[in-house]
Chains A and B, each alone.
Chain A
Amino acid sequence: MSWVRFVLLGGVLAGLLAGQTLLPVGELMRYTLDESTEQLTRGMGAPVQIGDASPGYLTWYYKTDVLDQHDFSHLLMFRREDGKLVSVTRNFHFAVNVDALLPVKSTQTYYWPSETDRQWPVRVRRMGNDRLVIAMGVANPGETSTQVLIIRRSVLRLFLPWLEDQLAK
């Protein structure tokens, strides 16, 4: 067992002992962002809503588990220009332990609005294939979050420019 796996397992065990709900690693990591709409509907079924109010983007909304009635469990955003899946946002009604998505070795904490003015944290995992995994509102392993996001790094500046500025350093 590598030390990375050991640390990850330790975090998972600590989360279990703390009574946290642990997010399965496959929950978000299965998205490559290269999926076709056919692949997505085969895997997830039809979205409950399709939002077309944005000039540049189209969103598929899902409710796959019990949430606050006005939140969606998954928001899949497509770029209209080429139909590519740009991001998948996963919401949880109750905060979950997201350590399984964020191995310590490849994860770093950043702060909004800036490193020197640390008002609110995110943990970011850099992945291959132009992808980032971002856990909202957590600074350290073992903390819980109500939202995780997988997004193309190439569009990060359009949505979270403060984070792109810090990642680029």
Chain B
Amino acid sequence: MSNLNPLRLLLLVISIAQVGAWAQATAPSARFALPERLRLLQGQYVDLVVEVRNATAVSNLKVTAGAVDLTARFAAPVKAELDCDTSSDFVVRANLQSFEATGDVELTVSLTADGATLTDKRTVSVMPFAMSGSQRRNIVLFVGDAMGTAYRDAARLVSRSIVDASGKNSFREGYFDNLLEMDKMPVSGMSMTYGTDSIVPDSANTGTAWASGNKSFLNAVNVFTDGTDCRWRFNGITTAATQPFILDNPRVENLWQYLKRKYNYRTGIVTTAAVTDATPAVQGAYSGFRQTRLEIARQYRENPMLNGAPAFDVIFGGGADPFTAEGRPDRRNLIGEFQGLGYRYVTTATELKALQYGRPTIGLFKGSAVPAPGSNGITTAADVNMDVAYDKLKLERPASEPMANLGTFTDQPMLELMTEKAIEILSTSFSQSPFILMVEAASIDKQSHPNQAAGTIWDTIEMDKAVGVARAWAAKRTAKDTLVVVTADHDQSMHIIGVSNTPDAEYLNRSKSTKISYTTPAGPQDFTVYGDAYSNARAGLPFINTSTGASNNGGTAGQPSSFTGTSSASDPAASTYSTYFGSPAYRMDAATGYPVNTGAGLRRLSVGFRTGDHTGSSVPVTAEGPGALLFTGYMHQTDIFFKMAAALSTDTSEADKLVDLLKSSRFPQTVGK
């Protein structure tokens, strides 16, 4: 045992833990491919799948849900190859089933396999949902991808620390004159984002949580794990040849399809990502693997929960490729098919602005110059997101971040315009149907992965402006019928460090840099540090701060892997510009309404990144409108789904009065709110 490294030990421990399971593996067994804590709305679709292992024949199937016999809904047992072993297995399934009785329902299966009687059961929690009387409420859900508390803080510190012409800063003595739009929403809570297989989740399984009310595994879009995942999930072979096993997982219906199918809601997605990216996908598709972009686009057009009807009335974002004939191996022109169904199609901000309310609309504002299918047969060659706010605003990028390159897509809309138009279209249907809309600021996450602080912060500000659009629209409604919820799917590792008064000459200088290398067990790690590092301390690098004024900062000599030994003549780390103290100070561009990031006298926010990836921290939720009080406190991310549903289907007037009471002058009010 002495030469066992920790990983080998872990492998051994996990293997030993499986011995019990292996010992029984040769005996026939049956199980529902459903989670232990399956929670559904009344009438919400779910695929009921029973997996039978180590059996040569299956008979005498009986499935019940409480007193209801579901057996007749199941298709005949089908031979299957589960767990990638050599055993003989079967799958029995009943697709798109639902439960009408509310409360805890015991789901049981009994069957005969090779002479043995096998059983399994699950307790399914079925929540009531029924539209009451004339109540018809709308929901606008904002998802800041990776927008944890530090990201909201950063957006506030940058966009609300504005120096006016007289030199007065709107952030003084620790108070803001004016908080973010999302700060002003009256109810706050926290959402725990853990997935079934990881405490650090991704946008797919977190999206599954808030869109369908159930947790799942990394990369899953509204599906649960099953016995054929070994064909692709654990070896990474995600191709056309394994796609049938990616798409056979048990599905659970999301709120967008549920409301459209049962209550004729209008539905929409707005994102700055490719519209087939994971966060928008959870409103319109069902797949074990988020990167099955071609299939996700097809399901937007032919949704399986809607008997092949389109999933959405509004789709705005990037990623045109999988909707084009050139980008798809099947050569289907999905844009043309949507247009054939009466959808309008726009590709620029100018066209979007000119749109009048009414007909369903697709806006795809970015794509490849020459779309092409990917070699794996399940994606396009490129997944093209929209450009970030910082670049759309034509702000000059700091030295360490890539220069803007909008290519030929120079007329992309800001998120606030997309939000405004989506609400306008969705809210003015001939049928006067209510609507549910998701708005995603995707590049908060996408810019955070490469630790690009300016990109990620300005995208958070862009999102807040979009929140302002929705709040203002909801406030103008005579009937207070629109719930606005703002949350994140997961956190990332950015944190607030302090401020930096690095001058533009260093902040923007791409010709002055320092190379840093250090050796790890995996080999040398090489970094190039530019002068903007004071405002953006990247993962893997020592924190650059020459100040010794803070007790937790030992200066250049006190930090691990400090800059000792680098040339002070050309080393940004030798600069004395960095400081912990003071407040940020930005100027506002009156033309765009966004803060500018260059100019004499700026004091920029300093942020640091511990990693270039997601984290497992809980994320904030804020809410306003009918039912907002439901979103207070710590909650599982799946609760967001049920709270949204409850806000639509129940009388929340007593709770709404309480929120109004808290906003009254009887109680302390937050400065700047």
Q: Report A's interface with B, CB cutoff 8 A.
A: 36-38, 41-42, 44-47, 49-60, 64, 66, 68-72, 75, 77-78, 80-81, 83, 86-87, 89, 91, 95, 112-113, 119-120, 122, 136-138, 143-147, 149, 151, 155, 158-163
Task: Using A70-B204, A72-B236, A119-B329 as known contacts, list a sample of 11 further A-B pairs with CB atoms less than 8 Å apart, ordered by residue number in A.
Answer: A46-B7, A53-B233, A59-B234, A68-B383, A69-B445, A70-B202, A80-B14, A136-B375, A137-B377, A143-B375, A147-B375
Which one, A78, A80, A89, A120, contacts B377 given CB within 8 A?
A120
From A36, A56, A59, residue with most partner B Cβ within 10 Å: A56
Which A residues are in CB contact (< 8 Å) with B669? none
Stretch of B83-91, B151-159, B543-551 contacting A (4+ beta carbons < 8 Å): B83-91
Verify A147–B239 contact, CB threshold 8 A: yes
Which A residues are in CB contact (< 8 Å) with B336? none
Interface assignment of B23: CB less than 8 Å from any CB of chain A? no
A58 to B522, CA, bound (A): 22
A70 to B3, CA, bound (A): 34
Verify A55–B375 contact, CB threshold 8 A: no
Verify A37–B234 contact, CB threshold 8 A: no
Instruction: Name the CB-closest residue of B to A45.
Output: B522
A51 to B218, CA, bound (A): 11
Chain B 600-627 interface residues, beta-carbon cutoff 8 Å to A: 612-613
Verify B15–A83 contact, CB threshold 8 A: yes
Interface assignment of B11: CB less than 8 Å from any CB of chain A? yes
Which one, B8, B219, B230, B450, contacts A37 given CB within 8 A?
B8
A45 to B238, CA, bound (A): 25
Which one, B219, B225, B376, B445, contacts A137 given CB within 8 A?
B376
* B contacts with A, residue count (CB < 8 A): 59
Which A residues are in CB contact (< 8 Å) with B5? 37-38, 41
Verify A159–B84 contact, CB threshold 8 A: yes
Q: Given A55-B18, A57-B230, A70-B219, does the pair A95, B7 have CB atoms closer than 8 Å?
A: no
Instruction: Name the CB-closest residue of A to B85.
Output: A56
Which B residues are in CB contact (< 8 Å) with A53? 197, 217, 225, 229, 233-234
Verify B375–A145 contact, CB threshold 8 A: yes
Verify A41–B7 contact, CB threshold 8 A: yes
Verify B241–A120 contact, CB threshold 8 A: yes
A147 to B272, CA, bound (A): 27
Verify B375–A52 contact, CB threshold 8 A: no
A71 to B522, CA, bound (A): 19
A138 to B56, CA, bound (A): 38
Which A residues are in CB contact (< 8 Å) with B14? 52, 58, 80
Which B residues are in CB contact (< 8 Å) with A136? 237, 239, 375-376
Which one, A41, A51, A144, contacts B375 given CB within 8 A?
A144
Which A residues are in CB contact (< 8 Å) with B613? 69
Q: Given A58-B11, A78-B11, does the pair A149, B376 have CB atoms closer than 8 Å?
A: no
Which A residues are in CB contact (< 8 Å) with B478? none
Interface assignment of B521: CB less than 8 Å from any CB of chain A? yes
Verify B217–A56 contact, CB threshold 8 A: no
Provide a sorted-by-A list of 17 A–B residue pairs whose CB atoms are within 8 angstroms: A36-B8, A41-B7, A68-B383, A69-B446, A70-B278, A95-B374, A95-B375, A113-B241, A119-B240, A120-B329, A136-B375, A137-B374, A137-B377, A147-B236, A151-B235, A158-B85, A159-B84
Interface assignment of B259: CB less than 8 Å from any CB of chain A? no
Which B residues are in CB contact (< 8 Å) with A78? 11
Interface assignment of B449: CB less than 8 Å from any CB of chain A? yes
B29 → chain A closest CB, angstroms: 11
A97 to B73, CA, bound (A): 49
Interface assignment of B10: CB less than 8 Å from any CB of chain A? yes
Chain B 362-391 interface residues, beta-carbon cutoff 8 Å to A: 374-377, 381, 383
A67 → chain B closest CB, angstroms: 10
Verify A112–B240 contact, CB threshold 8 A: yes
Interface assignment of B520: CB less than 8 Å from any CB of chain A? yes
Interface assignment of B160: CB less than 8 Å from any CB of chain A? no
Verify B11–A83 contact, CB threshold 8 A: yes
Which B residues are in CB contact (< 8 Å) with A122? 241
A77 to B225, CA, bound (A): 18
A47 → chain B closest CB, angstroms: 8
Instruction: Name the CB-closest residue of A to B232.
Output: A159
Instruction: Name the CB-closest residue of A to B381.
Output: A95
A36 to B25, CA, bound (A): 27
Which B residues are in CB contact (< 8 Å) with A60? 7
